[in-house]
Structure 1
Amino acid sequence: MPDAKAAPDGLVADLKRARDARDDAEDAVADVGESRIRALRDALTELDRLLAQYEEDATGTGDFQSYLSFQDDLVAFVEELDDDLPEREAFESLLDLFKKRRLSDADFTEARNRLSDARDLVGRLDHLADTRKRYADARQAVEERADEHAAEVEHLERLRRLGNADLDAPVEDLRDPIEAYDEAVREAFEAFKSNASARCVLDLVATAESYPLVPFEPVPGDLREFVAGADDAGGEPIPQLLEYAEYSPSKLEHYVEEPRTLKRVVGGNRTYLDRLDADPLVVDWPPAPAAELQYRARELVAVVGRFADDSVLEWLHAVRAAARTNDYERLRTAAVADHELTDGEMERAASGVEDDLEAAREAEAALRDALSEY
């Protein structure tokens, strides 16, 4: 987290400078025309190619045919240049520069020097790209710092809220029914998975897909299809299917009708079946806010009631009833504070976070404003 009291002035100044530099670079390109400068860059590239191609053979007492070819190619190149091309006169001047009976290395050096202003114009494109990159980087830095301050605001608001928790509140009034339910539903699901047919267990998981707050991992398609269609294997408990998957095909023929399919499908989904447990059904500690827990408990009743006995449902109803009491949020806040806050956070909350909170809010607002302005 950034220092809540750290002024954002430096980042804002960097952003303004980057914006101004980008605008100046865009104006410099616009004065000439971006398309005209790009055409100039293409012309310089082609000219450099010509000079590099002929410089060695056409100079001094070199190849006379290369000298003639260079003259022809240079004339053709200049004549094809657009009349509106920036620095066209500098290109045209090369025709006179090279119109002599013998060329030297100095002539090629002079030719390149005459195009220095053209190269400076082309450099405006690179400068524009650089300033745009610096501007994008400056914006990203401001956005990241604003996000950091937003996270600090959220953190401080949480500390302020939890710092006011009544740590002497009787949180066991919540913990006892939740822990009793969680333990009971884990035992009930383990017994269900161990003894019921694989078809029944996976049907339950498929049914839970209609309840978004009971987040079982969906049954793999091939496993669901095999268990539903195999009358013999689908009627076996999941531990038995996993044991069967370890058998050789010849041994397995004595137990199921499709031994190779079972080994492929059950063996291929062993990890899924091993990991299938009651985690999506437990409430856990500390609990969710009242409205969320009430809604989730309603969905849990619909799912848990399909395999667990009344004793499990009684604890679930007790949890649901606790979430409806007027004292629930006070108890939950105390539970969350005790469970989540470190000693250091407790001390900071106790000493007060209002100044830091206000500073973080102001810093974030200043950075968001700068992003809008620049």
Structure 2
Amino acid sequence: MRIAMNGVTGRMGHRQHLVRSILALREQGGLDLGDGTVLWPEPVLVGRREHALRALADRHGLEHIATDLDAVLADDSIDIYFDAQVTSAREEALKKAISAGKHIYTEKPSATGLDGALELARLAHAAGIKHGVVQDKIFLPGLLKLKRLIDGGFFGRILSVRGEFGYWVFEGDWQEAQRPSWNYRSEDGGGIVVDMFPHWEYVLHELFGRVTAVTAHAATHIPERFDEQGKPYQATADDAAYGIFELDGGAIAQINSSWTVRVNRDELVEFQVDGTEGSAVAGLRNCRAQHRSSTPKPVWNPDLPATEAFREQWQEIPDNQPEGGDFANGFKAQWELFLRHVYADAPYHWDLLAGARGVQLAELGLKSSAEGRRHEVPELTL
């Protein structure tokens, strides 16, 4: 099984997809399909900088690199094309891969605009190939525990979801930035709305219901940053976004996304879900819950200090994994599902149409911010 992996010299492509997913599968002896077949992934590292690809291949004991994408896609031995490039380069490469008949797995957003994302979904459907978009956060331990509560009816009727995501990304002058400079240039496909709203779309869709309307405000709080060479540049993309999402079924979600916030919470992302029968707070790994029967009765009195340790009144949700095992890395878990989809025709619905919904929400979020008004989110079809 040969996988062309484009963009693995970048942080996400290297760390999460190559090392923690594909190489992790090799370390465990391949992917057992359960019928006696074991898939052995053979990555072909694709990119523009040959020296960087060679250094990466040497570091991990890999053999195959390529700088000519067209030649890679013309190679009949390549089964799957994976894309983790910058967003602005992704759409054209995916079209080429679809045209070459390769199965597609890609980071999100799948395209820079809804029209392009829908075209990719339709082209892939017409070509009869298998296709998937990375939607890693629903495979996080904290959200898997949250889904367990939802599926068990713990919340009763869900009323609201409140999300907080983000951390302080240094400007790059006196401390090196933790994210690449293109993230802050809209002309290069940057911005927190196009990065994070696709995540919120599938998290909300999978756990609580389809997003039916959005009201958003996007801001560029830090207008000047410093690039990888220490040179100042104007930040033309939003670095914070404040969104209200109306959900099918009546629940309301409010999610703040920011690269200009200092963290005063247990994890870098947290979601609080409140329902008629109970509430829960889920992060990357942990989830705490409070049932109606054990909910305290606070009384507002600003003249007296708080006497209750509110956080101590919540119950930790256990892992409850088979045979005492730990949760798998979310990226690796989705890779395994996609590979089973390709080679064993296992069910899989996180496809390019699902990816288009994320692009749609980001596009409408930016439109809402620019116009200062609420936008309904039409349901997408091929």
Which TM-score applies when normalising by structure 1? Answer: 0.19
Larger radius of gyration, structure 1 or 2? Answer: 1
- The answer to which structure has the higher helix fraction is 1
What TM-score results when the alignment is normalised by the length of structure 2? 0.19
Per residue, is there more strand in 1 or in 2? 2
Higher relative contact order (CA 8 A, sep 6+): 1
